[in-house]
Amino acid sequence: MRRRNLLNLTATACLALSVITVGTAGSAVASPGLVEAMQRDLGLTAAQANTRLAEEATASRVAPVAQEAAGTAFGGAWFDPERGKLVVGVTDDTAAHAVERTGAVAERVEVSAAQLDATKAAIDARAAQAPAEVSGWRADPRSGSVVITVQSGADSPELAAFLQQAREAGPVRIEEGPKPVSFAAGTVGGDPFYINGNVRCSIGFSVHGGFVTAGHCGGVGSSVTGWDGSAMGSFHGSSFPGNDYAYVGIGNGWWTAPVVLGWGTVSDALVRGSWVAPVGTSVCRSGSTTHWHCGTVLAHNETVNYAQGAVHQMTKTSVCAQPGDSGGSFITGDQAQGVTSGGWGNCSSGGETWFQPVNEILQTYGLSLVTA
């Protein structure tokens, strides 16, 4: 029999997030897609978008120089798209000329940035006393105040007391607005996550408190961020080799969902349990690189000898996978089977993949699946 190499399906995601660079002539060079996004979201033409990018790049370079020129009279700064210039507030007219020599526009304000920062810091110190009706607060140099946003119609004694204390700290303005919520998503099988900021793996299944995935993705204590770049949590348990499973505890607004992504190929699958699919039955896999693929269970309780060492009690399948799919979901119908470990081949020419059974992971860490 020809010997095949077994590959751990971990990928390093080198995400180049550069948006704008400045060319040698000082012109702004937009990254691909940025001008189109500005046209769509800001209602600009392509020419207007490119002009604005150049003006904003100039304003960004001028800002620290203009602030230094304003000295103690500095009252904050903001970009004015109508003028295409950085505007710098000054509390003293004598500072205006120095600011304008930097290329910024000087505008008289009554309150310095230092005063606003001090007022906001005093309110920050009382953040634990902020009632739920308060959505947030920010320093606003253009109005010369700290703006506190409260929900429309809010009128409680706790709110009144908080606002009174805020007004005692300095200039405050109240505005109404909706309560913001975290845009973090639920943990969904097959979705990507990133370990220590650069290694990408896939979520296996949501459990109460977090999710399970492959152990080779990260060690205990490794930090985890989600597909959107926001902090999720960290590895609370991990074993590899010998086993290839891990438990990631989550927080930071993330929540758990009993779902495995179908990636548009099929409908998302609900998870209702975790019975063991017999050899010969169909099984499907969801992962962040190759998305949704299916095959059959070929064997149970196989020992796979990776370069890093042997992993025991694995289930062999005819399903393909590729780097980055590690940790992703294996599911039959609505029954969780396991988390993707490794394999050979790819999803163009075919291959085989092994998974670590989910029930062993649940038993090891005392976890329970989130089910529909």
Catalytic: 326? Answer: yes
**Residue 34, pLDDT score:** 60
Would the pLDDT of 187 be above 70? yes
**Residue 211, pLDDT score:** 98
**Residue 304, pLDDT score:** 84
Bridge-based pairing of strands 199-202 and 7-8 is unpaired
Three-state secondary-structure class, residue 138 = strand
Would the pLDDT of 185 be above 80? no
Task: Report the pLDDT averaged over residues 70-92.
Answer: 94
Task: Report the pLDDT averaged over residues 95-102.
Answer: 97
Catalytic: 124? Answer: no
Active-site option among 206, 238, 239, 244:
244
Measured in Å, how far apart are the chain's first and last C-alpha atoms?
44
**Residue 280, pLDDT score:** 75
pLDDT band for 16, please (50, 70, 90 cuts). very low
| Burial status of residue 34 (CB atoms within 10 A of its CB: 0-12, 13-18, 19 or more) | middle
Would the pLDDT of 184 be above 60? no
Phi, psi of 160 (to 5 degrees): -60, -40
pLDDT band for 38, please (50, 70, 90 cuts). confident
For the entire predicted model, the pTM comes to: 0.57
% residues pLDDT > 70 (the chain): 88
Lowest mean pLDDT among 85-94, 302-311, 358-367: 302-311
**Residue 4, pLDDT score:** 32
Express each pLDDT in 198-219 by its tens digit: 889 999 999 999 999 999 999 9
* Residue 5 to residue 318: CA distance in whole angstroms: 15
Task: Report the pLDDT averaged over residues 226-232.
Answer: 91
Task: Report the pLDDT averaged over residues 236-260.
Answer: 94
pLDDT band for 151, please (50, 70, 90 cuts). confident
292-297, Cβ contacts within 8 angstroms, sequence gap of 24 or more: 292/190, 292/261, 292/262, 292/263, 292/265, 292/266, 293/319, 293/320, 293/321, 293/347, 294/319, 295/319, 295/320
- Residue 182 Ramachandran class (φ > 0 left, ψ -120 to 50 alpha, else beta): beta
In 3D, which of 44, 141, 151, 148 has the Cα closest to residue 89?
141
Catalytic: 244? Answer: yes
Is 223:195 a contact under the CB 8 Å cutoff? yes
Task: Report the pLDDT averaged over residues 321-346.
Answer: 93
Active-site option among 206, 216, 234, 291:
216
**Residue 180, pLDDT score:** 59
C-beta atoms surrounding 148 within 10 Å: 23
pLDDT band for 267, please (50, 70, 90 cuts). confident
**Residue 30, pLDDT score:** 54
Would the pLDDT of 282 be above 70? yes
Task: Report the pLDDT averaged over residues 302-310.
Answer: 82
* Residue 203 to residue 327: CA distance in whole angstroms: 6
pLDDT band for 296, please (50, 70, 90 cuts). confident
% residues pLDDT > 90 (the chain): 55
pLDDT band for 138, please (50, 70, 90 cuts). confident
Lowest mean pLDDT among 17-26, 79-88, 91-100: 17-26
Is 325:354 a contact under the CB 8 Å cutoff? no
Would the pLDDT of 15 be above 70? no
**Residue 181, pLDDT score:** 46
